[in-house]
Amino acid sequence: MTPLAPTDPRPTLLIVDDHRALAENLQDIFEPQGFRVLFTPNAEAGLGLARASGFDLALVDVNLPDARGTDLLPKLREASPDGEVVLITGHATVDSAVAAVRGGAFHYVVKPFKVDELVTIVQSALRQRALRRERAALRLRLTRSERRYREVVESTQVVMLGLDAAGVVRLFNRHAAALSGYAPAEALGRAFVELLFAPEHHAALRTRLERAAAEGEPQEFEAPLVTRDGKSRTVVWNVVATSAQPPAPGFEDDEEAPLSLYVVGGDVTERRALERRAAEAEALAHMGTLAAGLAHEIRNPLNAALLQLHLLARGVGRLDAAEGAPLQGRITIVEAELRRLERLLSDFLELARPRPMAREAVVVATLLESVLDFHEPNAIARGITVARRIAPLRVVGDPERLRQVFHNLFLNAMEATPSGGAITVTCHRDATREGFGCVSFIDTGRGIARGTLEKVFEPFFTTKEAGTGLGLSIVRQIIERHGGRVELESAEQKGTRVTACLPEASG
Ligand SMILES: Nc1ncnc2c1ncn2[C@@H]1O[C@H](COP(=O)(O)OP(=O)(O)OP(=O)(O)O)[C@@H](O)[C@H]1O
Ligand SMILES: [Mg+2]
């Protein structure tokens, strides 16, 4: 019972027994076995020692002068939760045995006992204690490691999903929720393919997943993710099989369905858009050289034709009215067509080598009405009704360029809309951006396929036999040069809405 430094590595044996001779005996037995032995004759002092220095094992007499050992037992366990307690009694009763077991005693020894018997009990109590500690330490390590992995998964800026063997989402990280718009609770338990992709991609995706799962062949591919609100994001996906083993027999229900695939996705929407813009710019630069050459070649004969037309008109003017009038009408048409050709030529050049723009206050209604007045008879002839909802707004811009924008957008709407359809043209303040006015062309036409949607602004992209595919490229270039933006929404077989927003003129 020497005072000991707190760093003493020996296991502590606490003896609470008023039987001094027995206590000393035990000390003689256990100290040589490497124990640090603390001895105290009553319950109060025993509890004090346990609280002060803890114990690995306590040997407690049931009949103590100041308490019952069975009553002391729970207090000792509370003072040193890791320690084991062995009760010793001279008179075994059923009651004390039951109390010992209830209180969590490791063993119950009846006097007189053999020394060997007690040594064995003490050793196995210590083994039990060591096991319990190890289990606690492992559990702690497991919790920490789990937390670390969870943190990695949750804080990463990539989409991370876990799928079970049926392709059902079982893990859905924070970034997946942010990108897709689905809360984890909405996504968990749903089929991955159906939740996040358009039907036309389902078959190909299922093949990918099967290949990754069955053949262990990691898959990397690009496929658009459809967000909760129906927007499309371009995502590069990586799918790998997990190393999960099937659950051991009898443990099938131990956990929720085990993961069979990990799916990691990186959003490349912006990157792809930039790449596309760069490719377009290159195509435009290329086109610039080509167009300049072409323009030169075409302009000369065009000017010559216009000059000859003027001379012809002057000659016709000298004829009498009855003879001259019909010819004059034809001359006017030819001239209009030649001017249109000239304008088309400038369009090419405009796109390839934009000229400086005028910046003046433009009354949108006037410009828009004149474009619509020009086209409406044509639309009506095709069985299309035209509705106008035009608020009085003024924007800053180049009226000729804007006329061309409205002209291109109306033609696209008209060309997409079958007989019986409608085109609605609106002019309104921008609801999302202060100081902007917008013009929308809404048609009930055939719409644009999802996969085509991102290509329609590319120069030369057309689905029409006689289209140049320049219409929307010019629209976007003009609007963006005005400091505005163009938005396109479309649903197949339902219709399309193209909206161009421009800075409003002040005052
Ligand atoms: N309102 C619309 N409805 C359906 N599809 C449209 C609509 N607007 C544009 N598109 C699609 O976008 C493509 C590109 O349009 P864009 O105006 O750039 O060229 P284009 O109309 O084909 O040719 P151009 O304008 O030179 O005559 C069209 O071919 C068409 O497939
Ligand atoms: Mg067009």
Give me the sheet containing 436-443, strands edge to edge.
Answer: 385-390, 422-429, 436-443, 495-503, 485-491
Rounded alpha-carbon distances, angstroms, from residue 190 to 210, 238, 323 = 17, 19, 79
Ligand nearest to the CA of 416: 1
Ligand 1: residue of 468, 472, 473 to mutate (most ligand atoms within 8 A of CB) is 472
Ligand 1: residue of 412, 425, 465, 478 to mutate (most ligand atoms within 8 A of CB) is 412
Spatial neighbors of 165 by CB under 8 A, at least 6 apart, are 213, 257, 258, 260
Closest atom of ligand 1 to 459 CA is 18
Write down the pLDDT at residue 245: 63
Phi, psi at residue 56, to the nearest 5°? -95, -35
Indicate whether 487 pLDDT > 90.
Answer: yes
Ligand nearest to the CA of 465: 1
In this structure, the residues whose C-beta lies within 6 A of any atom of ligand 1 are 408, 412-413, 416, 443, 445-448, 456, 461-464, 467-473, 496
Ligand 1: residue of 456, 463, 474 to mutate (most ligand atoms within 8 A of CB) is 456
Q: How far apart are CA 503 and CA 484, in angstroms?
A: 6
Q: Whose CA is nearest to atom 22 of ligand 1?
A: 462
pLDDT (average), residues 213-218: 89
**Of residues 249, 500, 270, the one with CA closest to residue 395:** 500
Q: How far apart are CA 74 and CA 79, in angstroms?
A: 9
Q: Which residues pair with 164 in a beta bridge?
A: 259
Q: How far apart are CA 175 and CA 32, in angstroms?
A: 62
Write down the pLDDT at residue 252: 55
Instruction: Please identify, in words, the CATH class of the domain defined by 156-245+256-267.
Output: alpha beta
pLDDT (average), residues 67-94: 87
Q: How far apart are CA 195 and CA 464, in angstroms?
A: 34
Residue type, 86: V
Indicate whether 477 pLDDT > 60.
Answer: yes
Give the end-to-end CA distance of the chain in Å, rounded to a whole number.
98
Indicate whether 2 pLDDT > 70.
Answer: no
Check whether domain 12-136 has CATH 2.30.30.100, yes or no? no
Q: Whose CA is nearest to atom 8 of ligand 1?
A: 412
Indicate whether 253 pLDDT > 70.
Answer: no
Closest atom of ligand 1 to 467 CA is 23
pLDDT (average), residues 336-365: 82
Cα of 429 vs centre of ligand 2, distance in Å, is 25
Q: How far apart are CA 422 and CA 15, in angstroms?
A: 97
Q: Which CATH number is 360-503 given?
A: 3.30.565.10
Contact between residue 472 and residue 347 where contact means Cβ atoms under 8 Å apart: no
DSSP structural state of residue 436: E
Give the number of other CB atoms < 10 A from CB of residue 317.
11
Rounded alpha-carbon distances, angstroms, from residue 285 to 279, 291, 357, 456, 479 = 10, 10, 19, 19, 19
Write down the pLDDT at residue 6: 53
Average model confidence (pLDDT) across the chain: 88
Write down the pLDDT at residue 1: 47
State which H helix or E strand residue 60 sits in.
strand 57-61
Write down the pLDDT at residue 387: 97
Q: With a threshold of 0.75, does the pTM exceed it? A: no
Closest atom of ligand 1 to 463 CA is 29
Query: Which residues fall inside 5 Å of ion ligand 2, going by CB?
Result: 412, 471
Instruction: Sort strands 169-172 and 159-164 into parallel, antiparallel or unpaired.
Output: antiparallel
